[in-house]
Chains A and B, each alone.
Chain A
Amino acid sequence: MTHQEIYRSGPWWHYIKYGIVGIIFGIVFTKAEIISWFRIQEMFRLESFHMYGVIGSAVATGLISVLLIKKFNIKTVSGEEINFYPKTFNKGQVYGGLLFGFGWAMTGACPGPLFAQIGTGATVIIISLLSAITGTWVYGYFREKLPH
């Protein structure tokens, strides 16, 4: 077994750190009102800079972090080489992207915020989440027949 395999098949509590990052992420989502349907409408109606500021500064922070990781060849805490996976273009990014854009403006949520909304006590969003899971399943079912 390589180090990575041992790590991946490690005990469940190895995953708690991802839960903690998720908790912080969920708090940021909620406190910055990114999970608010109104903020998403303001963005698409060009009535507020808020969401553009959030996405823009998030990308800038991510970009600088990745550049630093690559430049200084920074390893993970357990000493592994950090992997980046190049994405390949297919037409799905256009068709799927537009369809997701429709859903984003309707629900006021991307996949992450759906989970945060449920956490705030909006229990009906469980239905939106189940519907999103169904959408993913239907995509998987028809995948071979769809243009890519």
Chain B
Amino acid sequence: MNIIEFISQPWPWYVAGPLIGLTVPILLLIGNKSFGISSNLRHICAACIPAKIPFFQYDWKKETWNLFFVAGIVIGGFIAATFLNNPEPVIVNQKLATDMAAYGITNYQNIVPEDLFNWNALFSLRGFLLMVVGGFLVGFGTRYAGGCTSGHSIMGLSTLQWPSLIATCCFMAGGFIMANLILPLILSL
């Protein structure tokens, strides 16, 4: 097995977690930047559609680093999917696979499930709810909460901010409610 084959396998949590955690000191050391990804959505609004809204009236150009960071994430996704791709389907818990098969979700070939997220599905009620409404809630919710999993759950908890602990608990609570109580209804549409 060569090195490319080796790193093309899915990475276990104990490799990925510490690497993600190291982003905190790396960003601090190379430029005094606090880790947080959702703020780039605000910077994009401030740069493109400020519409005289006070929340978007600030010097977003000072936060340009954050836009370079997310551009890097896009490129990273491309590199991983193109040069380090694992040809095997995503391996999931058998119980999940059985439950998802009942909703017609059987394709595990790509990391983003083809059966749910594709251009045709966008025009179905199920796809519209998952992609458009779901995306809206991600953007609205993270800004309302003042951060996302990176800003609150990783940077905030790393610096012992108790508001971040509350935010993280609410992220998880919302996810549990949606995944177990509401999502089954959306998937059966």
Give me the interface of A with B, judged by CB distance under 8 Å: 7-8, 12, 15-45, 47-63, 65-66, 68-69, 74, 76-77, 80, 82-90, 92-112, 114-125, 127-141, 143, 146
Q: Which of B34-91 contact A (CB under 8 A)?
A: 34-35, 37-38, 40-42, 44-45, 49, 51, 53-56, 62, 64-66, 68-81, 84, 90
Digitize B142-157: 1 where CB-to-A-CB distance is under 8 Å, 0 elsewhere: 1111111110111111
Q: Which of B9-31 contact A (CB under 8 A)?
A: 10-31
A120 touches B77 (CB 8 A): yes
A-B contact pairs, 28 of them (CB 8 A): A15-B64, A18-B66, A21-B72, A27-B79, A29-B77, A35-B111, A36-B90, A38-B92, A45-B95, A47-B95, A60-B21, A65-B25, A66-B158, A76-B30, A76-B32, A80-B32, A86-B161, A93-B152, A96-B167, A100-B140, A104-B171, A106-B130, A112-B149, A117-B77, A124-B122, A125-B117, A134-B139, A141-B53
B157 touches A32 (CB 8 A): no
Q: In the complex, which residue of chain A has the Cβ closest to the Cβ of B162?
A: A89
B117 touches A134 (CB 8 A): no
How many angstroms between the C-alpha atoms of A74 and B168 in the bound complex? Answer: 28
Contact of A57 among B11, B21, B49, B54 (CB under 8 A): B21
Give me the interface of B with A, judged by CB distance under 8 Å: 7-8, 10-35, 37-38, 40-42, 44-45, 49, 51, 53-56, 62, 64-66, 68-81, 84, 90, 92-93, 95-96, 100, 108, 110-113, 116-119, 121-122, 129-150, 152-164, 166-180, 182-183, 186
B69 touches A21 (CB 8 A): yes
How many angstroms between the C-alpha atoms of A77 and B96 in the bound complex? Answer: 46
Residues of chain B contacted by A29 (CB below 8 angstroms): 73, 76-77, 80
Contact of B179 among A97, A105, A130, A134 (CB under 8 A): A105
Contact (A61, B22) CB under 8 Å given A97-B145, A132-B41 = yes
Contact (A65, B22) CB under 8 Å given A38-B113, A59-B154 = yes
Contact (A37, B116) CB under 8 Å given A27-B76, A92-B145, A106-B134 = yes
Residues of chain B contacted by A48 (CB below 8 angstroms): 92-93
Contact (A98, B158) CB under 8 Å given A17-B30, A120-B81, A136-B140 = no
